[in-house]
């Protein structure tokens, strides 16, 4: 398959490498010029669990300069950059292109469907994690899986072929019957781990090792569950908590520093408004008090201000 990664940061680059290694034609589109240049000049360096797997030649360019058409496009931007990315790559999306959205947070489908029909949109969640060790360098840990669902279901046989393609690459993809529930469960996990690890300055395992981490987990998860129910989604607290506990393991994602932490460390604006901030906004919409998410959102914004995030 011809697959475009609209955003070739930590996650996009890791997935793109995996799919290229299983025989697919992969192109990276990213606005970070130094990253694009490094990939084109030296190949994409892959480090997984501290093992250097070498450099791999994969075509990289800017979003507006992408040419041709693609069977599948993964959008791997930050949530606040999604709208601009859709505008930049619209010229290579044809009526049968599938858009895969695995982005953190709430509201991403509403952005994408401004440009294409829901039948072309696959919303999903992933527990894969990744990081960058500089331009052109993926520095990742652990393994993961993907859960996907077409937003406007069709019986197109291509969908099964697409899932098979992902699994031949080792992505662990499954089709979901209720991806919105899974998205909210992932939002709950991210509202806890992304935010607390950034504020406490720790990785996931270190947060889990804190003796009162469960108190902090409950503050946030209880608010996510209440707001999710008000939105008509069957959000389950025990599922969110079990997912959080599962990634404390250093052999899973415990040694990982979440994406919001990585953005803050690089003085970049974070996705907090699409995580705890979104819960706080929806709480106000439904008259539900969300003091923990309100406070966390303000604290992350304060930290962005202190470090001069842009």
Q: pLDDT tens digits, residue range 99-146? A: 999 998 998 999 999 999 999 999 999 988 888 999 999 999 888 899
- List Cβ neighbours of 112 (8 Å cut-off, separation of 6 or more): 75, 82, 86, 99, 101, 121
Question: What's residue 134's pLDDT?
Answer: 94
**What CATH class has 180-307?**
mainly alpha
Burial class (CB in 10 A: 0-12, 13-18, 19+), 67: exposed
Q: What is the pLDDT of residue 155?
A: 78
67 vs 74: CA distance, rounded Å: 16
Concatenating the DSSP letter of every residue in 249-284 gives: STTTTTTPPPHHHHHHHTT---SGGGTHHHHHHHHH
Predicted confidence at residue 255, as pLDDT, reads 86
pLDDT in tens, 222-266: 999 999 999 999 999 999 999 999 999 988 778 889 989 989 999
Q: Per CATH, is 2-177 categorized as 3.40.50.620?
A: no
Among residues 59, 64, 118, 186, the one annotated as catalytic is: 186
Pairing of strands 44-48, 51-56: antiparallel
* pLDDT band at 153; cut points 50, 70, 90: confident
pLDDT tier at 177, thresholds 50, 70, 90? confident
Average pLDDT, integer, range 52-72: 97
b/e code 272-297 from CB counts within 10 Å (16+ = b) = bbbbbbbbbbbbeeeeeebebbbebb
Q: Which residue has the tokens 């608010």?
A: 223
Residue 50 annotated among the catalytic residues of the structure: no
Which residue(s) pair with 254 in the sheet? Answer: none
Average pLDDT, stretch 68-72? 96
Mean pLDDT value across residues 68-95 = 96
Confidence of residue 9 (pLDDT cuts 50, 70, 90): very high
* Beta partners for residue 126, in sequence order: 146
As a whole number, mean pLDDT of residues 79-101 equals: 96
pLDDT value for 252: 76
Which contacts qualify for 238-243: CB closer than 8 Å, 24 or more apart?
Answer: 239/185, 240/185, 240/188, 240/189, 240/192, 241/217, 243/127, 243/185, 243/186, 243/188, 243/189
Delimit the domains of the chain by residue range: 2-177, 180-307
**What does the alpha-carbon distance between residue 61 and residue 269 come to, in Å, rounded to a whole number?**
23
**What is the C-alpha to C-alpha distance for residues 126 and 128, in angstroms, rounded to an integer?**
5
Question: Rounded CA gap, 182 and 173, in Å?
Answer: 14
Supply the pTM of this predicted model.
0.85
């Amino acid at each position: 398959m011809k697959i475009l990664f609209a955003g070739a940061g930590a996650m996009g680059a890791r997935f793109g490498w995996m799919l290229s290694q299983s025989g697919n034609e992969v192109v990276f589109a990213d606005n970070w010029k130094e990253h694009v240049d490094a990939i084109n000049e030296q190949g994409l360096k892959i480090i997984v669990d501290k093992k250097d797997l070498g450099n791999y030649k994969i075509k990289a360019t800017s979003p507006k300069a992408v040419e041709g058409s693609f069977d599948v496009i993964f959008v791997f931007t930050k949530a606040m950059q999604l709208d601009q990315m859709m505008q930049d790559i619209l010229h290579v999306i044809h009526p049968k292109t599938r858009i895969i959205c695995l982005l953190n947070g709430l509201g991403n489908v509403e952005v994408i469907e401004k440009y294409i029909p829901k039948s072309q949109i696959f919303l999903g969640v992933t527990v894969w994690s990744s990081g960058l060790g500089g331009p052109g360098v993926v520095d990742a840990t652990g393994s993961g899986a993907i859960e996907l669902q077409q937003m406007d279901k069709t019986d197109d046989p291509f969908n099964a072929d697409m899932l098979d393609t992902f699994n031949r690459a080792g992505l662990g993809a499954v089709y979901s019957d209720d991806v919105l529930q899974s998205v909210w469960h992932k939002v709950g996990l991210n509202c806890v781990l992304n935010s607390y690890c950034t504020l406490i300055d720790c990785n996931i395992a270190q947060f889990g090792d804190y003796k009162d981490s469960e108190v902090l987990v409950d503050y946030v998860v209880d608010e996510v569950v209440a707001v999710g129910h008000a939105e008509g989604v069957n959000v389950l607290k025990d599922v969110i908590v079990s997912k959080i506990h599962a990634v404390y393991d250093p052999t899973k994602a415990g040694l990982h520093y979440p994406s919001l932490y990585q953005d803050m460390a690089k003085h970049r604006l974070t996705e907090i408004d699409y995580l705890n901030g979104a819960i706080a906004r929806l709480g106000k919409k439904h008259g539900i008090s969300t003091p923990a998410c309100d406070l966390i959102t303000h604290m992350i914004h304060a930290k962005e201000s202190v470090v001069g995030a842009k």
